Structure 1
């Protein structure tokens, strides 16, 4: 089967598998606060190591491609009340945990974390860090908007132990940045990159997107050329997800402006080829890293992990997420916080954990989750251990006849391996194992296209 035939066949709406079960398939009844607290305590009892995610949702301008939960405002008076609410939520967890947690990872996402003044970020983070012990090999990172990240931001966070940052670039072309309302320049990116290196940041990631409105192969070539000149250690090169029914701002441009099908896939193939020529190695799904980076080393050692924070070299079974809309994971359960900022603050200020939805994983969920994680992180999975077997796994494997016939996977006794041909369709492969999806297929379009 030709590459075009594979694209035509497998370019369907597919979940992104940041979790299993995926959020639309969480049980309708939210776990009680007691159930969630019990799951947190169980995970903490197995290991005191935790990861922390802080969602900082404010942005000064609306980037129309973005599907994140955010609040657009130029009113920086919102910073202090939100920070106090996040610290109160942290206090609720701190009071629950029977001992000081060991912090393995800390990540600031958004929104735009650098919307917040450096002194406010220092206040927030110093109050969190005083209540934890640091793992011997910890990693702190944050998402940086090149148009709003100052030298003071970089210095403040570096002093607090941050060694990683992820710069949202998307594309360097002014006409594309204009249509998606992204306010930044190449010089902004260069400044943040060079200043971060000067201060001792060890790993810099660039977020690049293919499939943006007006984007052509010439744009990809120029963006990769400029990226190579600045040599970030990691690159997330991922597909634009056009979901205007979820993110109405994406209606700011016409679907006729978007590259589709084979044209969109060609943008990825071109970008991947150029990145590999520059020495980057494909990591999991949509990610690339230089061999010196910890993400590459984790892949080589079989330690690569994927969570709501993306790919990481560490596996922690207790991931606490603070802030509006953030999602926590105790390995046995997921919960999501209230999305509306005012309601989130109201709940926390009343002394309540602000969870509004969630899911308690069944034994089947845990088994399928592990196999999907293995495929996403290692391009293979194995079920020789009876603890990793269930009827739903074998039902999923039986759905893979066509995937194997088309050369996307190789099945052996108790093992599945993704081929190089199959790597662009890794979401399709995972979907074959998604028992909840197949028991209740969505009636309308719920997910973005595979390509």
Structure 2
């Protein structure tokens, strides 16, 4: 376990690097709807036939607010909103289809939220069937969705499985009733057990549980109890996330408890190290920052084969070049550029009704951005990177390595002539190492309130 001195030294605000540049450093003047269309067409033409594309569908509705959540959501109990939202999302997809001169080859489809299982089964079936009529399927396609243990039904699981879904992720967070009350996410172990077993019985090959450390009132005993219960269910994947306390960004939803109720840096890291120790003893493999998988799972194989990728959907085994995000606040990635949709439901639907892509902001990557992005992806996905080849070298490489000297002295990184390696016991500091490569952050001193703490 990293000692407390190192945790205190490096526990600073920093990005989670689901993209580079990170969203606060996007040059929003570099892209508009026309340049975004050109970018996705270029990426589609280059990669569709060989790699296929990824689709992320953002289904934002939740019946109640979980106070740990930093996602873009729309809190409502009005299920009559489902149909018009799906109609708008499908209309947005039609706008994208107009940019392509052939059928997309769909490799990855993910339903995220919000709460995708807020939607009735019939509406989800209509949504997926309509999209599938417009695409061809890649031979290695993978469909997945996020399910809430309290409202995911056997019918949800069976219907989506019949449509090709084989992966499901359940938000568990922690089994302590005190913690669940504080974060307004009450669900019993029996509920999680039921939906996990239903998915297995139906035929899902990869089930994931999301756990969080650093929650209000959380103790070592809570972590031990949660991992012991997780052992009984043995999901194929575990996402063991750090709680990001950023109420100044997400508003009063994260103020359902006092700051003093949240474990501090050293205490928080002990929670993670205990959880990690238990997961490794259960046979899970660490497959990237905060992620673990059983050796038989595709994520472990992708990590071993250095074929893992990271984007706005998190870690994925499907490294497509083009990822299109549909829905309110969804982010798309053409490799050469990013775009984010309007964040409010009304603004998103108004733009689609006008027949235009609902672009709120975006970024066109420079040549330097593309090189730095490769390094950061290597570090986040493989815990190493290299500049042996000229296409991985950049003007400020020596200065970047200089910023890593202190971490090297502390044993957190190994720097060779043309390669960087993160030792296994230093993976907790992967975000700090990426920050040394983050030229946009280095040149534009960050507002520390933009990010959660790194360790």
Render the CA deviation track for 1:71-97: whole Å, top value 9, x for unaligned: 111000100010000000000111111
Q: What secondary structure, in the 3-state scheme, does the structure 2 residue paired with 1:127 have?
A: helix
Q: Tell me the distance in 2 between the aligned counterparts of 1:296 and 1:223.
A: 22
Q: What secondary structure, in the 3-state scheme, does the structure 2 residue paired with 1:96 have?
A: coil
**Contact 2:2–2:425, Cα closer than 8 Å, also in 1:** no
2:120 corresponding residue in structure 1: 117
Further displaced range: 325-334 or 3-12: 3-12
1:314 corresponding residue in structure 2: 318
Q: CA deviation at 1:231?
A: 0.5
Q: Tell me the distance in 2 between the aligned counterparts of 1:337 and 1:360.
A: 15
Q: Tell me the distance in 2 between the aligned counterparts of 1:202 and 1:444.
A: 41
Matching of residue 37 in structure 1 with residue 37 in structure 2: yes
2:419 corresponding residue in structure 1: 415
Instruction: Select the residue among 166, 170, 175 that pairs with 1:167.
Output: 170
Instruction: Select the residue among 243, 246, 250 that pairs with 2:246.
Output: 243
Q: Map 1:273-292 onto structure 2 (within 5 A).
A: 273-292=277-296
Q: Map 1:88-237 onto structure 2 (within 5 A).
A: 88-237=91-240
Q: What secondary structure, in the 3-state scheme, does the structure 2 residue paired with 1:191 have?
A: helix
Further displaced range: 140-149 or 27-36: 27-36
**Contact 2:109–2:144, Cα closer than 8 Å, also in 1:** yes
Q: CA deviation at 1:28?
A: 3.3
1:26 corresponding residue in structure 2: 26
Q: What secondary structure, in the 3-state scheme, does the structure 2 residue paired with 1:370 have?
A: helix
Q: Tell me the distance in 2 between the aligned counterparts of 1:393 and 1:88.
A: 45
**Contact 2:109–2:143, Cα closer than 8 Å, also in 1:** yes
**Contact 1:364–1:392, Cα closer than 8 Å, also in 2:** no
Further displaced range: 222-231 or 386-395: 386-395
Q: CA deviation at 1:444?
A: 4.3
**Contact 1:176–1:215, Cα closer than 8 Å, also in 2:** yes
Q: Tell me the distance in 1 between the aligned counterparts of 2:118 and 2:424.
A: 40
**Contact 1:368–1:393, Cα closer than 8 Å, also in 2:** no
Q: CA deviation at 1:393?
A: 3.1
**Contact 2:182–2:216, Cα closer than 8 Å, also in 1:** yes
**Contact 2:32–2:362, Cα closer than 8 Å, also in 1:** no
- Structure 1 residues 192 and 75: alpha-carbon distance in aligned structure 2, compared to 1, 3 A threshold: same
Q: CA deviation at 1:395?
A: 2.3
**Contact 2:2–2:426, Cα closer than 8 Å, also in 1:** no
| TM-score, normalised by the number of residues in structure 1 | 0.99
Matching of residue 266 in structure 1 with residue 309 in structure 2: no
Q: CA deviation at 1:394?
A: 3.0
Runs (4 or more) in structure 1 with deviation over 6 Å come to: none
Further displaced range: 191-200 or 29-38: 29-38
Q: Tell me the distance in 1 between the aligned counterparts of 2:448 and 2:265.
A: 20
Q: Tell me the distance in 2 between the aligned counterparts of 1:63 and 1:91.
A: 33
Q: Tell me the distance in 2 between the aligned counterparts of 1:2 and 1:243.
A: 24
Instruction: Select the residue among 377, 381, 392 that pairs with 1:377.
Output: 381
Q: Tell me the distance in 2 between the aligned counterparts of 1:331 and 1:299.
A: 21
Q: Tell me the distance in 2 between the aligned counterparts of 1:14 and 1:2.
A: 18
| TM-score, normalised by the number of residues in structure 2 | 0.98
**Contact 1:30–1:356, Cα closer than 8 Å, also in 2:** no
Q: What secondary structure, in the 3-state scheme, does the structure 2 residue paired with 1:328 have?
A: strand
1:334 corresponding residue in structure 2: 338
Q: Tell me the distance in 2 between the aligned counterparts of 1:441 and 1:236.
A: 31
Q: Tell me the distance in 2 between the aligned counterparts of 1:342 and 1:418.
A: 45
Q: What secondary structure, in the 3-state scheme, does the structure 1 residue paired with 2:347 have?
A: helix
**Contact 1:228–1:278, Cα closer than 8 Å, also in 2:** yes
2:301 corresponding residue in structure 1: 297
Q: CA deviation at 1:183?
A: 3.0
Q: What secondary structure, in the 3-state scheme, does the structure 2 residue paired with 1:207 have?
A: strand
Residue correspondences, number: 451
